[in-house]
Amino acid sequence: MKSQNLVLMMLSCVPLFFTGSLHAQTPATVRDQLTLTNATLQECIDYALSNRPGIQQSVLDEEIGERDIKSALSGWLPQINGTGTANHNFKQQSQILTTNGESSLLTFGAKNTSSFVLQADQQFLNAGLIQASRTAKYFRQQYKQNTENTKINTVVDVSKGFYDILTSKEQLNIIAENIARLEKQLKDASAQYEAGLVDKTDYQRAQISLSNSKADKKRTEELLKYKYVYLKELIGYKGTEDFSLSFASADMEKEVLLDTNQTLDYQGRVEYRLLETQKQLQKINTSYNKLAYMPTLSGFINYGWNYQNQEIGNLYDRVYPSSIVGLKLTVPVFLGGKRTQEIKKSQLQERKIDLDLVNTKNQINTQYEQAIATYKANLNDLRTNRENVDISKQVYNTIKLQYDEGIKTYLDLMTSETDLRTAQLNYLNSLYSLLSSKFDVKQALGTITVNQ
């Protein structure tokens, strides 16, 4: 296969992602189907965004977080509770009453009592509920950012897995071409040996080279099976049948190029924005600890049904209702210095997050420099290996003609054959490495965004 054809097939799906930002839409046809047949890279990503367990877990975390938020905010609504009791006094409470120097024993209540109380409580001022209201926005934001991070990693992982399979398929094509040449060379060497034109070594060398190429083919085929399984794991494939991939062939070599002068923007990295969200939450936590000095104010109203009777069988013959409404004010006075220590602790945690932000910036810089350096090196390797493939083909064709005319030895022919095969594989590997490094650069820049 010509080197240009390798480019055509390897880069056919790149424009779907590198037009600035990556927008992975999930059509219902991909979301709902259980099998993928002749799937493109875009379809594999769409399928993964709907079916990969890690993404589904992130979405569930969002839903769980929303329930947690609503549960915390429910404290602002009236809390209504009902209680009921039934008692039998084996010994009723008594008290001595002294009147004019004479004492008498008074017995209170009845042997059998019962009550039912319905009470509603309403919070008016509560530091914990104020904190819950202020943090709700940032917790929702945090859950969404975690999901976004998972999706971005999924896009990169699936894309690399997809191209890795394509690389192996192209390797099989190269090995098949090599085997075809070696089989012809073995046939020619065998004929020359039988005719007495060459000794047995040429024939044996051809046998060795052919056996090695067939072993390479078998190894690549077995690894390709694993790579298909790995890609199915990445996308969360649920189908019972083996899925197949489709590779469009269009001239997309220009899509290999990347603008290496782009400015690194930390806000584009979801990891950095996650830390900023955590910082906001920590600031609110510090404010909450300061609000712990604030009193708590709540109101309540209740209505009770009380029953008393000496005979248990007649306990509910008559009701004695009661009702009360009131306010409850709780003022924290002294808690042993706990509030002060919590405030200082929260402030120290804020400083720790600030250092995390600085450290993350340094890591992003390092990651970007590594990614862009790798990309530039791989781009140079691609250009060099492309030239080497063309030169190796010319050398092989020349030596093959000279060998057929008896000018060159079979060892020279085998050497040129090995050089050609090595150049083709090096070109293919550098092409895959370049595509992978381009994803790494985009991810480091934070320009891969996913909108499902």
**134 in Cβ contact with 72 (< 8 Å):** no
Residue 228 within a domain: yes
Residue 61 within a domain: yes
Residue 419 within a domain: yes
Dihedral through CA 65, CA 67, CA 72, CA 75, nearest 10? Answer: 170
Residue type, 373: A
**Low pLDDT (below 70) residues in the chain:** 1-34, 193, 195-198, 240-241, 248-255, 451-452
- Tell me how far apart the alpha carbons of residues 127 and 113 are, in angstroms, rounded to a whole number: 39
Task: Please write the tens of the pLDDT for every residue from 35-49.
Answer: 788 888 888 999 999
Report the candidate in 250, 249, 236 with the shortest Cα–Cα distance to residue 36: 236
How confident is the model at residue 254, as a pLDDT?
55
Which tokens is 267 given?
A: 């806000």
How confident is the model at residue 298, as a pLDDT?
94
The domain spanning residue 392 has which CATH number?
1.20.1600.10
Residue 450 within a domain: no
- Tell me how far apart the alpha carbons of residues 291 and 283 are, in angstroms, rounded to a whole number: 12
**242 in Cβ contact with 176 (< 8 Å):** no
Phi, psi of 329 (to 5 degrees): -115, 120
- Tell me how far apart the alpha carbons of residues 55 and 49 are, in angstroms, rounded to a whole number: 7
**139 in Cβ contact with 69 (< 8 Å):** yes
Residue 89 within a domain: no
Which tokens is 193 given?
A: 């040996």
Please report where in the chains the tokens 């064709």 appear, as a residue: 397
Residue 241 within a domain: yes
Which tokens is 337 given?
A: 């210095």
- Tell me how far apart the alpha carbons of residues 47 and 29 are, in angstroms, rounded to a whole number: 10
| H or E, element range at 185 | helix 127-194
Residue 308 within a domain: no
How confident is the model at residue 29, as a pLDDT?
43
Task: Please write the tens of the pLDDT for every residue from 334-347.
Answer: 777 888 898 899 99
Q: How far is CA 10 from the centre of its chain?
A: 25
**Can you point out the beta strands (E) in 76-169?**
79-88, 94-99, 102-107, 112-125
Which tokens is 99 given?
A: 């009147």
| H or E, element range at 330 | strand 320-330
Please report where in the chains the tokens 């969360």 appear, as a residue: 236
How confident is the model at residue 34, as a pLDDT?
61
- Tell me how far apart the alpha carbons of residues 452 and 50 are, in angstroms, rounded to a whole number: 9
Report the candidate in 47, 16, 17 with the shortest Cα–Cα distance to residue 30: 47
Q: Let me know the angle formed at the C-alpha of 120 by 117 and 126, rounded to the nearest 5 degrees.
A: 140
Which tokens is 338 given?
A: 């706990």
Q: b/e string for 70-87 if b means 16 or more Cβ within 10 A? A: eebeeeeeeeeeeeeeee
Q: Which domain holds residue 148?
A: 3-82+126-302+334-445
**Strands across the sheet containing 296-309:** 79-88, 112-125, 296-309, 320-330
Residue type, 158: V
Structurally, how many domains does the chain consist of? 1
Residue 104 within a domain: no
